[in-house]
Structure 1
Amino acid sequence: MARSGRSSDWGFPRWRGYESGRAATTVRLCDRHGCEEPGNCPAPKSPNSPERWHFCQKHAAEYNQKWDYFEGLDREEATARANAEQQENAGYAESAYYGWMGSGDGSRSADEMRALEVFGLEADADFETIRKAWRNRAKEVHPDVKPGDAEAAKQFQACQLAYEVLRQAEERRTWKG
């Protein structure tokens, strides 16, 4: 008795038609009015909401540009959420050491960015520029230069901590193990 579903390709599947048996796939378009690009970038409609907009990459970047992730949370809740996410993403932070990125391309951590703000430097500043800024700032607010000035001592401590954060980050980037 012969089978009814026998193919005529003699066992060579390459002789069959490519994708001939598949139905057309539906593509979700961008939710921005008038955009005809595929909407493959989901974005939340409001904070802590499961509902999503679906934008193309261009409109998702525009939508997320001023997005406040911590909107509606008080300071303690925002800190708790940031710490929880940092703990969840600790493996990614450790793997950043093995990256091929250099300064100024998004490879700086939030701590490094805050440290750069102390010196008034941009994210792409090289370490020599950081060292010069640190020395100049330390000379201005050193307790020996301004004895008895509590604000200067506080600024000097912030300057020292910022430099230490940036120095350690530079050592991690340049370490050849």
Structure 2
Amino acid sequence: MARQGRSTDWGFPRWRGYGSAREAAAVRLCDRAGCNEPGNCPAPKSPNSPDRWYFCEKHAAEYNAGWNYFEGLDKEEAEQREQAERQTSSGYGAASWQAWAGPGDGSRSRDELRALEALGLDPDAEFDAIRKAWRTRAKEVHPDVRPGDEAAAAEFQKLQLAYEVLRAAQERREWKG
């Protein structure tokens, strides 16, 4: 009897790509009647129940639109559950300062946002735009240009502080990145 062919799966490392097995992959379908999309989104069947429906993205959004996760709980229990859920997901917010995301999407601190507001810029402004806005506004209210004007001096100090905050944040990002 002739041999079918040589196996390319000799051991470790595997010589063929991962996921290139010949068996059919099991796909769970959406639990919504009549839907043939993959059901990748779990949704609770009832409050405080470990049982889950598995919907496609469209039907999960429809199902969750009117869902109240704190229904049936008194105020203290609802606060405890909310606090527990915030603790489990707090790592995502804590990682944003490490510049895993770009500007304008939660990666700037409150101080940076206040500084951008003082300069009259959007939260997703690039550092070149920050420097340009600082220079133009600082030239208008500089104490050498307006001697004796207390309001202009206070505005200049505010602009200087805003620029220092943003420059230090930019240097941190460049140092880490």
Q: TM-score, normalized by length of structure 2?
A: 0.51
1:109 maps to which residue?
Answer: 109
1:19 maps to which residue?
Answer: none
1:104 shift after superposition: 1.1
Unaligned runs of 5+ residues in structure 2 are: 1-43, 48-61, 80-89
CA distance 1:41–1:156, shift in 2 (3 Å): farther
> 1:116 touches 1:123 (CA, 8 Å); kept in 2?
yes
Per-residue deviation, residues 8-66 of structure 1 (Å, max 9, x unmatched): xxxxxxxxxxxxxxxxx7423xxxxxx742737559xxxxx53749xxxxxxxxxxxxx
Matched, 1:144 2:144: yes
Q: Give the % identical residues.
A: 57
Point out 4+ residue stretches in structure 1 off by more than 6 angstroms: none
CA distance 1:100–1:152, shift in 2 (3 Å): same
Specify the code of the residue in structure 2 equivalent to 1:114.
R
- Aligned-CA RMSD value: 3.3
- Where 1:27 maps in the other structure, the secondary structure is coil
Find the partner of 1:27 among 46, 65, 73. Answer: 46
CA distance 1:122–1:36, shift in 2 (3 Å): same
2:153 maps to which residue?
Answer: 153
CA distance 1:41–1:134, shift in 2 (3 Å): farther
Q: TM-score, normalized by length of structure 1?
A: 0.51
Matched, 1:126 2:154: no
Unaligned runs of 5+ residues in structure 1 are: 1-24, 29-34, 44-48, 54-88
